[in-house]
A = this chain, B = another copy of it.
Amino acid sequence: MNNFTYHNPVKIVFGKETIKKLSTLIPKEAKVLMLYGGGSIKRNGVFDQVMAALKNYTVHEFSGIEANPEYETLMKAAELVKKEGIDFLLSVGGGSVLDGTKFVAAAVKYTEGDPWDLLDKKPKIKVKEALPIGSVLTLAATGSEMNGFSVISRRERGEKLAFGSHLLFPVFSILDPETTYTLPESQTANGVIDAFVHVMEQYLTYDVNAPLQDRQSEAVLKVLIEEGPKALGNPNDYDVRANLMWCATHALNGNISCGVPQDWATHMIGHEITAEYGLDHAQSLAVVMPVLIDNRKANKKEKFTHYARRVWHIIKDGDEAYAEGMEKTVDFFKQIGMKTKLHEYNIDKTGFENIANRLDARGIKLGEHQDIGKKEILEILNACY
């Protein structure tokens, strides 16, 4: 096992009718900005629940945060925060709204230049100050509710970049599984894939003799495989929704990555596919992950065979176990409605060179062995097609 530091101070308030606890979680004197997306929270009653819980607060609103939250939009929110003297940000929505809120929290305190610096400067600029954030989560997917990471897009430049800080952990996150009943099937499926691939990025590398972390990762994968399809068939099953929600949080709260190597190449390439072609985040992951593992088979075969045995109960050996594990994985993605090849999205290959160039320009190779460069990225993209 490798050395590690683990520190996750997010307070999770989980369960039915927990939105009403907001008034016990936000300081009484706070001037709150509520940030949300396109209005689904108005249709499903979450907006009204939040407003009822905050009836004794000064609350401003900022709506219209997109999936793949956009720099331009968020800078408008940051303006509003400054203008109104807001001192607490409440994200109400899924991971995109929360990632956007994290950017706003840091942007309003960054006075040295354009807040985009926090994402694209090399070496990384550290977040030194941020507004406190609370979260009411309405989608089980990104894990953003229990970590300090954020991914922001800047369409004008075709960029989608990540940043993170301990100052961007939400103070609290309210997870009421009932808020996810009304999600479109495709978003439920996206969430399952997002959580699944988060686990794989931290698990599917190489063995460092960390059996607890392995088994904890396998626990999340197994439950996603068991519960994911149930949510599609029966969207109002509370326990299924609760189990998926808790899985997604555990997939990226830092626990399963303690003391083990991490990959994240699927995410790096996936982000660029989204930036280039507009695929949903999870759609890009479902296409890239199996192909990337195959491309890196020499290094990943041992752990993938272990995964095939543990997660899919495949009792064959070597190449046979590998092949059957891969087949089961891709079948699972298809079972919950994901496409697994880029050509199914009716896009052409003309953007592949852009993607590889953008990643190459950052000057780092990808993967747990840092052995995925421009050549391998193009191989992977072509095999994804």
Contact = CB atoms under 8 A, between A and B. Distances in A.
Nearest to A15: B3
A259 B246 contact: yes
A174 B116 CA distance: 36
Given A9-B7, A11-B6, A219-B216, A243 B211 contact: yes
Contacts of A7: 9-12
Interface stretch (A102-110, A154-162, A221-229): A221-229
Contact of A212 (B9, B12, B243): B243
A12 B3 contact: no
Contact of A15 (B2, B15, B220, B250): B2
A41 interface: no
Interface string A214-244: 0110111011001100000000000100110
A187 interface: no
Number of copies of this chain that the complex holds: 2
Contacts of A15: 1-4, 259
B4 A212 contact: no
A291 to B, nearest CB: 28
Interface string A242-253: 110011001000
A218 B219 CA distance: 9
B212 A247 contact: yes
A51 interface: no
A357 interface: no
Contacts of A6: 11-12, 14
B227 A222 contact: no
A212 B255 CA distance: 14
B219 A1 contact: no
A213 B250 CA distance: 11
A126 interface: no
A5 interface: yes
Chain B CB within 10 A, most for which of A6, A11, A212, A227: A212
Interface in A64-99: none
Interface of A: 1-16, 18, 209-213, 215-216, 218-220, 222-223, 226-227, 239, 242-243, 246-247, 250, 255, 258-259
15 contacts: A1-B15, A1-B239, A1-B242, A5-B14, A6-B12, A15-B259, A209-B243, A211-B222, A211-B223, A212-B219, A213-B246, A215-B218, A215-B219, A218-B219, A242-B259
